[in-house]
Amino acid sequence: MTELSLPSSVRARLSAMMFLQFFVWGAWFVTLSTYLGQGLHFAGTDIGRAYATMPWGAIVAPFLVGMIADRFFAAEKVLGVLHLVGAVLLWQSSNVTSPGALCWVLLGYALCYNPTLALVNAVSFNQMKSPEKQ
């Protein structure tokens, strides 16, 4: 093991964290339009609004969560709390049948999920001794 390489246990945990970060998103986001269109019989505009929540969350959430994560709490704790709240919101979205209500629930999820994209990188780079070389 060289001086710059990560211990295998840390590398495995970081790899699992990155896999789960993107697996969660891909598990439901890809098939959302099929479920909304064929399962709930939403109109195309309603499906578009549901998908538009993720970009809005990406615009708004990092400003709010970035201040909290940088100043008050460790990135790992903020990451965990956001994923737990996001899991509850995503689970609740399975019970929603109204297009308007679903958009609000998905917007809440987007506000929780989008900041985690930056937080997983912060957690990963924090584990490295020399991130520019590893």
Tens of pLDDT, residue by residue over 67-97, are: 787 788 888 999 999 999 999 999 999 999 9
Model pLDDT, residue 127: 80
Model pLDDT, residue 66: 77
Model pLDDT, residue 2: 59
Mean pLDDT of all residues belonging to the chain: 90
Tens of pLDDT, residue by residue over 109-123, are: 999 999 999 999 888
Q: Global pTM?
A: 0.87
* Alpha-carbon torsion angle 94, 98, 99, 102, nearest 10: -40
- Domains of the chain, by residue range, sit at 10-126
